[in-house]
Amino acid sequence: MDYLMGIDVGTTGVKVLLIDKNGNVVSKDTQEYPLYTPKPGWAEQNPEDWWNATVKGIKNVINNINPGDIKGIGLSGQMHGLVVLDCKFKVLRPSILWCDQRTVKQCEYITKKVGYAKLMELVCNPALTGFTAGKILWVRDNEPEIYKKIYKILLPKDYIRFKLTNVFATEVSDASGMLLLDIRKRRWSEDILKILNLSKDLLPDCFESEDVTGVVTKEVSKITGLKEGTPVVGGGGDQASSAIGCGIVESGIISITIGTSGVVFAFSDEVKLDKLGRIHTFCHSVRNKWHTMGVMLSAGGSLKWFKDNLSKEEIEEAKKKKVDPYDVMLKEVEKIKPGAENLIFLPYLAGERTPHLDPYARGVFFGLGIYHKKSHLIRSILEGVSFGLRDSIEIMKILKIPIRQVRVTGGGARSLVWLQILADICNLEMVTVNVSEGAAFGVALLAGVGTRVYSDIKQVCRNVIKITNKIKPDLRNVKIYDEYYKMYKRMYLNLKKEFKMLSELK
């Protein structure tokens, strides 16, 4: 039997997944590791923790198979993280992660130095604190002794690639989030590197996602049990890989992922650029294709915040019944009418990316009355997050991105009531699929294409990924929500200055 392996280097842990050539999950393992916050707004991890977790995960997953039957390995990982190595290939400092916010000054510098219009022309995205380029400049500005020693700059998954293969390489989808890649030409931007005074020699070679970038070394074979010479393909950033994993590989199919954050992801045959920078334009993990992506920071995270802080009774009930606390929380929500009796929630608990690019925005319950119960608040959270996801869809419509099907994944996809709210608010049919393994599954499929187990990523996705449920919008609710959505948008505009002023209060 032929097998394919996917390795996803996430923020909370490494997931190692083994599938057969028919797309069936054979085994999987997750190993967790810590996240460090040495200062407010900082987020770091030790790359060696990723590697140690990967080795354990691989050993557990291949325990009952012949490693020689593994035809290829795909890598995915959290995007934007900065890993810096010296000339002896030693990690110089902890990795600065995607959610780290220390680079505000560097991003302002990049925008001023390059110019906003030219930045959008060259790399199709504004300078945001999450992107890698600002982190590189932060090290140069604040840790010059470390910067002088840098031999190579890698992204998180590409550090694992180096450990597996002794090859410095990345691929276009993950590299798109560095702010250093020419998105149209799918190669490093000589212009940006020159303007920012960064040497191209610091960066790894950049491949397409399905390309074989190296093979497992003899040393790693001894450590992990993998067969020496097993091919390792480019893989992808976590969002592009997750999109592959639910079949977003052709025009007209988009995905909504409701995890801690919320992501709206759309396939594109060509570069679709929002000149205002409200949504990202990146290279897709499908060869010579692109994608647009809207990101909201507190999607499922908003509901988790409510659970952790205001749902003690529901948590206790869930323990007694041995069920998920969210199931208890949501059981009364369906009884509440659309609009939660004139209660609107702004889901900006950690600021917001799409469409506002506003780190100062904060969460709001608007219209709270004495007649509102906890179930009203919970429904308003589901609706507020859905309004935020609609923001991304509306921008995609402006860019004339076709939408004929929306595939919903993540924890939010398990709630039928949330799926119905989302369908009604977006006035689009929502569907779920039979695969829920995310990015690790997507890069396992890419490994199959790269090693010719499969001939084409579109065909294998059609064969393996199937629709399991369809939720159509209720047109009566669509009209109601259209009015609430107009107010939702006005509320942010009315509060924008106040959010900034609030942040400045001592």
- Tell me the catalytic residues: 238
User: 154: which strand partners?
Assistant: 83
DSSP strands (E only) in 218-348: 231-233, 236-237, 252-258, 262-268, 280-283, 290-296, 344-346
Sign for the CA dihedral angle at 349, 410, 307, 425 comes to positive
Q: How far apart are CA 288 and CA 495, in angstroms?
A: 41
Q: How many CB atoms lie within 10 A of CB 396?
A: 23
Q: How many CB atoms lie within 10 A of CB 193?
A: 17
Percent helix / strand / coil, the chain, rounded to 5:
40, 25, 35
In the structure encoding, which two tokens stand for residue 344, read together?
């609107």
203, 384, 394, 451 from 487: Cα distances, Å: 46, 11, 15, 52
Q: How far apart are CA 419 and CA 277, in angstroms?
A: 28
Pairing of strands 3-9, 70-77: parallel
In the structure encoding, which two tokens stand for residue 53, read together?
């977790």
Concatenated DSSP letters for 50-76?
HHHHHHHHHHHHTTTS-GGGEEEEEEE
- Whether the CB-CB separation of 389 and 296 falls below 8 Å is answered with yes
User: 85: which strand partners?
Assistant: 91, 152
- Whether the CB-CB separation of 389 and 426 falls below 8 Å is answered with yes
Tell which residue, 349, 388, 356, 383, has the closest CA to residue 367: 383
User: 407: which strand partners?
Assistant: 255, 431
Tell me if the bond preceding 355 is cis, omega within 30° of 0: yes
- Whether the CB-CB separation of 122 and 184 falls below 8 Å is answered with no
In single-letter form, the type of residue at position 482 comes to D
Q: How far apart are CA 80 and CA 78, in angstroms?
A: 7
Q: How far apart are CA 463 and CA 458, in angstroms?
A: 9
